[in-house]
Chains A and B, each alone.
Chain A
Amino acid sequence: MSDTAVRVSDAVKTYGEGEAAVTALRGVTADFAAGRFTAIMGPSGSGKSTLLHCMAGLDSLNSGTVHLGETELGSLSDKDLTILRRDQVGFVFQAFNLVSTLSAQDNILLPLAIAGEKPDQEWYDEVIEAVGLGDRLTHRPSELSGGQQQRVAAARALVTRPKIVFADEPSGNLDSRSGAELLDFMRHAVDNFGQTIVMVTHDPFAASHADRVIFLDDGHIVSELHDPSAEEILDMMKTLGD
Chain B
Amino acid sequence: MLKVALSGLRTNKVRLALTSIAIIIGVAFVAGSFVLTDTISARFDALLGDISAGTDVYVRGMDPDFGNDFGQLIVSMPEETLDGVLEVDGVAAAEATVDGIAQVIGTDGEPLGGQGPPTLATSWVANEQLSSLRIKEGNGRAPEGPGEVVLDVGTAESAGFTVGDEIGIVFNGPVETYRLVGLASFGDEDNLAGATLAVFDIRESQRALDLEGRISSIAVAAAPDVTADELVARIDPVLPDMAMAITVADANAEQSEEISQALGFLTIGLLAFAAIAVFVGAFIISNTFRIIIAQRTRELALLRAIGATGSQVTRMVVVEALIIALVSSAIGVIIGIGLAVMLQVFLRSIGFGLPEGPLTVLPRTIIVGMLVGVIVTVVSSILPARKAARIPPVAAMSEVLSTPTRKSLRTRAIWGLAILAVGVVSLGVGLFLSVSNAIWFVAIGALTVFIGVSILAPLFAGPITSVLGWPLPKLFGVPGTLAKQNTQRQPRRTASTASALMIGVALVVFVAIFGASIKTSVASALGDVFGADLTISSSNFATGVSPRFTEELRAAPEIGEVSALGFTQAKVEDEVYTVTAIEPATISGLIAVGVSDEDLADMAASDGLLISVAEPDYESWIGRTVPVEMPNGVTAPGTIVGTFDVENFGAFFITRERYATGFETVSDSLVVARAADGVSVADAQAAAIEVATPYPSLEVQTTSEVLADAEMQIDQLLAIFSALLGLAIIIAVLGITNTLALSIIERTREIGLLRAIGMVRRQVRRMIRWEAVIIAVFGAILGIGTGILLGWAVVRSLADQGLETFTVPFGQLFVYIVIAAVAGVIAAIYPARRAAKLNILEAISYE
Contacts and interface: CB of A to CB of B under 8 A. Distances in A.
Interface of A: 53, 56, 58-59, 78-79, 82-83, 85-87, 89-91, 93, 96-102, 106, 110-111, 113-116, 142, 156
B841 interface: yes
Nearest to A168: B844
Contacts of B754: 99, 110, 114
Given A82-B761, A110-B757, A93 B485 contact: no
Interface string B246-287: 000000000000000000000000000000000000000000
Given A113-B481, A114-B478, A142-B400, A97 B753 contact: yes
A82 B760 contact: yes
B482, B750, B760, B761 interface centre (most CB from chain A within 10 Å): B760
A190 B12 CA distance: 47
B290 interface: no
Interface string B471-497: 000000110011001101100000000
Contacts of B749: 96
B840 A101 contact: no
Given A101-B485, A101-B489, A116-B477, A79 B840 contact: no
A35 B485 CA distance: 38
Given A99-B482, A142-B400, A79 B761 contact: yes
Contact of B841 (A58, A97, A114): A58
Contacts of B488: 101
Given A59-B841, A101-B482, A86 B757 contact: yes
A90 B756 CA distance: 9
B844 A93 contact: yes
A158 to B, nearest CB: 12
Nearest to A49: B841
Contact of B758 (A78, A85, A101): A85
A202 to B, nearest CB: 16
B758 A83 contact: yes
A42 B844 CA distance: 21
B755 interface: yes
Interface string B752-770: 0111111111010000000
9 contacts: A78-B761, A79-B760, A100-B750, A101-B489, A110-B754, A110-B757, A113-B478, A114-B754, A142-B400
A211 B564 CA distance: 107
A101 B486 contact: yes
A114 B485 contact: no
Nearest to B488: A101
Contacts of A90: 757
Nearest to B403: A142
Nearest to A82: B760
Contact of A114 (B486, B758, B844): B758
Interface residues of B, number: 24
Contacts of B763: 114
Contacts of A78: 761
The 9 closest A-B pairs by CB, nearest first: A86-B758, A101-B485, A113-B478, A82-B760, A114-B478, A96-B749, A85-B758, A111-B757, A114-B759
Between B486, B755, B840, the greatest number of chain A beta carbons within 10 A of the residue's beta carbon is seen for B840
Contacts of B761: 78-79, 82
Given A96-B750, A114-B763, 13 more contacts: A79-B760, A82-B761, A85-B757, A91-B757, A93-B753, A99-B753, A100-B489, A101-B488, A110-B478, A114-B477, A114-B757, A114-B758, A115-B758
A58 B843 CA distance: 11
A86 B753 contact: no
Contacts of A156: 757
A89 B756 CA distance: 9
Looking at A89, A102, A110, the one whose CB has the most chain B CB atoms below 10 A away is A110
B399 to A, nearest CB: 9
Interface in B451-483: 477-478, 481-482
B759 to A, nearest CB: 5
Interface in B716-744: none
A225 B330 CA distance: 68
Contacts of B750: 96, 99-100
Nearest to A109: B478
A116 B757 CA distance: 14
Contacts of B757: 85-86, 90-91, 110-111, 114, 156
Interface in B753-807: 753-761, 763
B485 A96 contact: no
A58 B749 CA distance: 14
B753 A96 contact: yes
Contacts of B840: 58
A74 B823 CA distance: 39
Contacts of B486: 101
Contacts of B841: 53, 58-59
A115 B760 CA distance: 10
A114 B756 CA distance: 12
A91 B478 contact: no
Contacts of B482: 99, 101-102
A82 B488 CA distance: 28
Contacts of A142: 400
Nearest to B762: A79
Contacts of A91: 756-757
A86 B759 contact: yes
Nearest to B764: A82
Contacts of A87: 758
Nearest to B763: A114
A56 B760 CA distance: 15
B760 A83 contact: yes
A45 B482 CA distance: 36
B812 to A, nearest CB: 36
A56 B754 CA distance: 14
B842 to A, nearest CB: 10
Contacts of A113: 477-478, 481
B756 A58 contact: yes
A85 B756 contact: yes
B754 to A, nearest CB: 7
Contacts of B760: 79, 82-83, 86
B741 to A, nearest CB: 19
A93 B760 CA distance: 19
A85 to B, nearest CB: 5
B177 to A, nearest CB: 78
A115 B482 CA distance: 14
Nearest to A97: B753
A93 B485 CA distance: 23
A184 to B, nearest CB: 23
Nearest to B479: A114
A149 to B, nearest CB: 12
A119 to B, nearest CB: 13
A67 B183 CA distance: 89
A89 to B, nearest CB: 8
Contacts of A98: 753
A140 B486 CA distance: 14
A14 to B, nearest CB: 15
Nearest to B846: A96
B69 to A, nearest CB: 60
Contacts of B755: 82
A106 B478 CA distance: 10
